[in-house]
């Protein structure tokens, strides 16, 4: 009976992606049946015992959920400042799932939750360029020059430019509502871009991540992602990867 590649076995435990598992193997912290393994192509059998950093790991069933994050919660499992986290809204049986990317405390909208380390890596790795769509309102009237500047790029971190595609939905002298498409995942990217332009973000909601959206979700609600939706998501990610 053929075995399972060690990096895939580690990833299937939900610990990390296969790419990260390769790094762990090479660093010498992975053991199989008491023997340190540094060979990337190593295969394990169903009865083998695999340890990472001396901790026994087991494959787990992958779970996938959509969650509509409300404002006032941070996207982490623990906060040393005692702030409310998204896990305060989730049942304990979902506390093993990790968010795919983050939304800051006051932002709302779609978060994908999963224990599939490979999928998290595919959706968030900087080279992936997976589209994320946001609905954003600001406290002023945006100009075409501002829109062009966001498209061309704004340096919001030293040596790092942020880019955004903007579609105006509603505009008057006191506010502008837009849909903003990002292919990056920089920290507080949208807020920093508008701050650079002299605007304050009044509301920010992620409405879509790759092929998944908020359809059928109320604020604070979570639902399992259907197998067909996961298949469509993987097909979409494969098409992106093949275009590189």
User: Distance between CA atoms of 240 and 244, rounded to whole angstroms?
Assistant: 7
104 in active site:
yes
CA atoms within 13 A on the CB side of 151: 9
* Residue of 104, 118, 146, 215 with catalytic role: 104
Give the C-alpha separation, 214 to 218, whole Å: 8
Number of H helices, E strands in the chain: 6, 17
Q: How far apart are CA 125 and CA 122, in angstroms?
A: 6
Beta carbons of 176 and 141 less than 8 angstroms apart: yes
Task: For residue 86, count CB atoms less than 10 angstroms from its CB and return exposed for 0-12, middle for 13-18, buried for 19 or more.
Answer: buried
Buried residues in 98-135 as b, exposed as e (16+ CB within 10 A):
bbbbbbeeebbbbbbbbbbbbbbbbbbeeebebebbbb
* Closest alpha carbon to 190 in 163, 158, 159, 152: 163
DSSP class of 158: T
| Active site residue ranges | 104
């Amino acid at each position: 009976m053929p075995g399972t590649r060690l990096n895939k076995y580690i990833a299937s435990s939900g610990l990390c992606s296969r790419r990260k598992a390769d790094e762990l193997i090479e660093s010498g912290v992975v053991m199989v049946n008491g023997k340190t393994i540094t060979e990337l192509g190593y295969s394990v059998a169903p009865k083998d015992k695999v340890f990472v950093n001396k901790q026994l790991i087991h494959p787990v069933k992958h779970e996938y959920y959509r969650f509509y994050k409300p404002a006032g919660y941070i996207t982490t499992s623990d906060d040393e400042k005692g702030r409310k986290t998204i896990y305060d809204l989730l049942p304990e049986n979902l506390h093993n799932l990790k968010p795919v990317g983050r939304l800051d405390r006051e932002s709302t909208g779609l978060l994908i939750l999963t224990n599939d380390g490979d999928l998290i890596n595919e959706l968030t790795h900087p080279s992936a360029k997976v589209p994320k769509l946001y609905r954003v309102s600001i406290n002023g009237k945006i100009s075409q020059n501002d829109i062009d500047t966001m498209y061309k790029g704004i340096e919001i971190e030293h040596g790092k430019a942020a880019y955004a595609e903007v579609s105006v939905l509603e505009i008057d002298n006191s506010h502008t509502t837009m849909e903003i498409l990002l292919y990056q995942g920089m920290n507080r990217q949208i807020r920093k871009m508008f701050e650079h332009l002299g605007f304050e973000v009044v509301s920010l909601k992620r409405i879509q991540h790759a092929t998944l959206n908020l359809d059928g979700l109320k604020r604070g609600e979570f639902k399992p992602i259907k197998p067909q939706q996961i298949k469509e998501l993987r097909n979409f990610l494969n098409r992106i990867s093949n275009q590189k």
